Amino acid sequence: MAEGKTPAFAVPCFPPESSPRHLDRRSICAEEGTAGRISEATEEGTLGLMLFSGKSIVITGATSGIGRAAALGFAQEGGEVLAVGRNEAALRGVCSDGNGRVGRIVACAADLAAAEAPARVVAAALEAFAGIDVLVNAAGIIASAPLESTSDETWDSMMAINARAPFRLMREALSHLKARKGAIVNVSSVNGLRSFPGVLAYCTSKAAIDHLTRCAAIELAPYGVRVNAVNPGVTVTNLHRRSGMGEEQYAAFLERSKTTHPLGRPGNADEVAELILFLASDRAGWMTGETIPIDGGRHLTCAR
């Protein structure tokens, strides 16, 4: 998570009333912190070929790793993206990197553990886009500790960000997702499917989000809202570094991943983002309640 205190309020990258709802050939990103730019190379009619043209997407954890890759991927496919994170500078970077893509990205600074965060995130999406088609819960944290040394604070923080925050945001956005027969994609982990030593709280929090995915899917199916999850193996992001893992330790961890993942390597954020986009799209229109490993075969192995 980002260092320092970050306000739990929406920070649109540009005034919503100035944002176009149609494709044209002009830039809409002239200032630092403004939304993504519509590509000048895009010709009339091209947007209709995009997977998410005319659709609005809310993504948490959008400042790095899988969430960031997904935000940029949705914008590339014509989507209007609300990028949620705690670090305002990193959010401006996501918007800046969205320049030249077909869709646009709007920033929303929020601490998802704050009581008012779900209402503020949803309000920011409605102000910017007037609706929500897709919710991606990608924010997550990890901590390493065995049972005997897992503190109450560690346990509570794992559950608060990895399980409680997605639940609260799903609940807050639900009426808007129902209105558009939308989709939810939760970012879980292979740790939700399999047990691993030394990360008890993290494994439990990810198992919780997996079952939340299944329970919500069966409840929301009558409304046309689909709920699925992706379960990555070791993926090269800042997740482990933010848990306190040093660079040498992290390098050794990635090297060892070559032996623990049958495909012989860790994954990258773009690979996971591709699966998220598929599950959120109409191409996965008959899929719900799935927790899908994307882990180089890690879930097929025994602990080692």
- CATH code where residue 236 lies: 3.40.50.720
| Cβ-contact 81, 138 below 8 angstroms | no
> 303 in a domain, yes or no?
no
Q: How much is the pLDDT for 29?
A: 33
- The token pair at 49 is 């070929």
Q: What residues form DSSP beta bridges with 83?
A: 59, 107
How far apart (Å, rounded) are the C-alpha atoms in residues 257 and 212?
Answer: 28
Structural domain that includes position 29 = 16-297
pLDDT of residue 250: 76
- How many domains does the chain fold into? 1
Strands 267-268 and 235-236: parallel
Residue 6 in any domain: the answer is: no
Q: What confidence score (pLDDT) does residue 40 get?
A: 37
Which residues are identified as catalytic? 202
Give the CA distances from residue 237 to residues 126, 159, 267, in Å, rounded to whole numbers and listed in that order.
30, 21, 9
3-state class (DSSP) for residue 206: helix
Residue 70 lies in a domain: yes
Residue 5: closest CA among 93, 113, 164: 113
Position 109 in a domain: yes
Is residue 226 within 8 A of residue 133, CB to CB? The reply is no
- What tens-digit pLDDT sequence spans the chain (304 residues)? 343 433 333 444 433 333 333 333 223 333 333 333 333 334 433 444 689 999 999 999 999 999 999 999 999 999 999 999 999 999 999 999 987 788 999 999 999 999 999 999 999 999 999 999 999 999 999 999 999 999 999 999 999 999 999 999 999 999 999 999 999 999 999 999 999 999 999 999 999 999 999 999 999 999 999 999 999 999 988 776 676 678 888 788 789 889 999 999 999 999 999 999 999 999 999 999 999 999 999 999 986 6
Asked if residue 78 belongs to a domain, the reply is yes
Measured CA to CA, the distance from residue 68 to residue 85 in angstroms comes to: 10
Q: Residue 302 falls within a domain, yes or no?
A: no
Determine, yes or no, domain membership for 32. yes
pLDDT at 35: 36
Q: How far apart are CA 132 and CA 206, in angstroms?
A: 25
- At 254 the pLDDT is 85
Residue 156 lies in a domain: yes
